[in-house]
Structure 1
Amino acid sequence: MIDDPYRDVELVQLYDLDNPGGEDHDYYRALADELGARSVIDLGCGTGLLTRSLVRPGRTVLGVDPSRTMLDFARSQPGAEAVTWVFGDATALSPTGTADLAVCTGNAIMHLAPDELPATLSALARALRAGGVFAFEARNPAYREWERWSPAATYAERITPVGRLREWLDVTEAEDGRVTFDAHNVFPDGEDRVYTSVLHFRSSERFRQALESAGFTDVVCDGDWRGGPVEDGSRLFVFRARRV
């Protein structure tokens, strides 16, 4: 995965305010309950907002993330003691073949470079039992969402627990599905903390091929959280697949 863009302790405190649970969290919780999952992996768990909500009696939940700052925050939240937190990426997963469900949420899978995606999917397949399910979402490249991330369109000012912030996004490169952008965060003292992120936009067919190559089958791709079809106007893909 890319270098951690959330290494700033003050900005991590704002992450859950900016990314509250919604239809996405409802979807993954419902899927875990539908499957009767007794073992769940949340890869790229971040601050653990969804991860902690997946906890049920008789269910083990593992949260994995390559950001120590995110994990430290996650560990400090109510209910964190019910989750096993692991620093790392997919290579930190034990190839036990016992997990019932693995999820990768918040478009986190888009941080994976082309040479990282196959190894990550293979590691997830080895961690899941036969018939286990992997679910994730990613932005639809046909929607071309990065074209809306201009400074003018994303500029905002707000009062936060760390003071008044001025914020905006600025795309610096967009080519062959690889989008690089800077997130500007100007603090009250004028300091601009700039964090660069790289996202890899992939077609649904490329994801499908990668999943099947890693040992997944019964691949389903929806265009929204309610099972709608994928269209050019769909903002995202919602995938689920079963481990062979």
Structure 2
Amino acid sequence: MADLDRRLVELYDDDNPDGPDHDFYRALADESGAVSIIDLGCGTGILTVTLAGPDRRVVGIDPSATMLDHARGRPGAGAVTWVHGDSRQISGTSADLAVMTGNVAQHIDDEDWARTLRDLRGALRHGGTLAFESRNPAAEAWRGWTSTERTTRDTAHGPLEEWSQAEEVAPGVVRLVASNRFTDTDETIVETVTLHFRTRSELERQLHAAGFAVTAVFGDWQRGPVVESSAVLVVTAVAR
């Protein structure tokens, strides 16, 4: 599979800035007293570097070499161990905390999802914490992802024209096609991703099968309850 376009990776942090989601994970790391943390699907490392510290070992893992190249250039990147790959590249069995942020869980298909959870269970000590979020399928966020018109914004690489189309191709499975045209060079980069929208009960069942006990499912980053309109399911679980 082709890696991500470097120009689009450079825009990633602008489109996905530090915010309440990262505050949630940082607070969880502090509350749990974690000294060994795995950030699976770390992307550009915007959160990863802020989890690191003098008394913490942090590993950032991502399947995109371009994302990792960007992460390695961040201030503070030297305090993180960066690994190219997926959960199969996790080493060790005594991590205190593992996180998957930016809806990483939704990018993993069902077969690989079961393996990913097992790999994470194997990487955590007994009682270690796994935390991640996934969009609430009841909110049907994908219905607002199809562009009715193209938009253009200025970037360091010139004007960028953007449009997208989303379609539910199976129950809970959405294909998103995002088109990005750099108008100065007339280059169009098309990114196609398949996203899996899992219900709360599905996630709880899958985590239990992988050796976890679910400790909480929140409906927002302030740890509120899940309601029908909740945009996100924020899950914490402990390794049994």
Aligned to 1:126: 122
Question: Contact conserved, 1:97 with 1:130, CA < 8 A, in 2?
Answer: no
Question: Following the alignment from structure 1 to structure 2, what is the Cα–Cα distance between the partners of residues 117 and 40?
Answer: 20
Question: Following the alignment from structure 1 to structure 2, what is the Cα–Cα distance between the partners of residues 116 and 18?
Answer: 27
Question: Contact conserved, 2:207 with 2:214, CA < 8 A, in 1?
Answer: no
Question: Following the alignment from structure 2 to structure 1, what is the Cα–Cα distance between the partners of residues 113 and 176?
Answer: 20
Out of 55, 74, 83, the residue aligned to residue 71 of structure 2 is: 74
Aligned to 1:175: 170
Aligned to 1:59: 56
TM-score normalised to structure 2 length: 0.96
Aligned to 2:135: 139
Question: Contact conserved, 2:44 with 2:71, CA < 8 A, in 1?
Answer: yes
Report deviation, 1:173.
Answer: 4.5
Question: Following the alignment from structure 2 to structure 1, what is the Cα–Cα distance between the partners of residues 34 and 61?
Answer: 18
Q: Secondary structure at the match of 2:67?
A: helix
The one-letter amino acid of 2:116's match is T
Report deviation, 1:172.
Answer: 4.3
Question: Contact conserved, 2:52 with 2:79, CA < 8 A, in 1?
Answer: yes
Pair 1:101 & 2:97 matched: yes
Question: Following the alignment from structure 1 to structure 2, what is the Cα–Cα distance between the partners of residues 21 and 113?
Answer: 27
**For structure 2, which runs of at least 5 residues remain unmatched after alignment?**
none
**For structure 1, which runs of at least 5 residues remain unmatched after alignment?**
none
Report deviation, 1:156.
Answer: 2.3
Question: Following the alignment from structure 1 to structure 2, what is the Cα–Cα distance between the partners of residues 149 and 143?
Answer: 13
Question: Following the alignment from structure 1 to structure 2, what is the Cα–Cα distance between the partners of residues 128 and 55?
Answer: 18
Question: Contact conserved, 1:139 with 1:235, CA < 8 A, in 2?
Answer: yes
Report deviation, 1:179.
Answer: 0.6
Cα distance per residue 1:99-138 (max 9 Å; x no partner): 0000000000101111111110010001001110000000
Pair 1:49 & 2:46 matched: yes
Question: Following the alignment from structure 1 to structure 2, what is the Cα–Cα distance between the partners of residues 93 and 190?
Answer: 40
Question: Following the alignment from structure 2 to structure 1, what is the Cα–Cα distance between the partners of residues 102 and 41?
Answer: 8
Question: Contact conserved, 1:163 with 1:187, CA < 8 A, in 2?
Answer: yes
Q: Secondary structure at the match of 1:151?
A: coil
TM-score normalised to structure 1 length: 0.95
The one-letter amino acid of 2:28's match is L
Question: Following the alignment from structure 1 to structure 2, what is the Cα–Cα distance between the partners of residues 24 and 171?
Answer: 24
Report deviation, 1:191.
Answer: 2.0
Aligned to 1:148: 144
Pair 1:215 & 2:211 matched: yes
What RMSD, in angstroms, separates the aligned Cα atoms of the two structures? 1.2
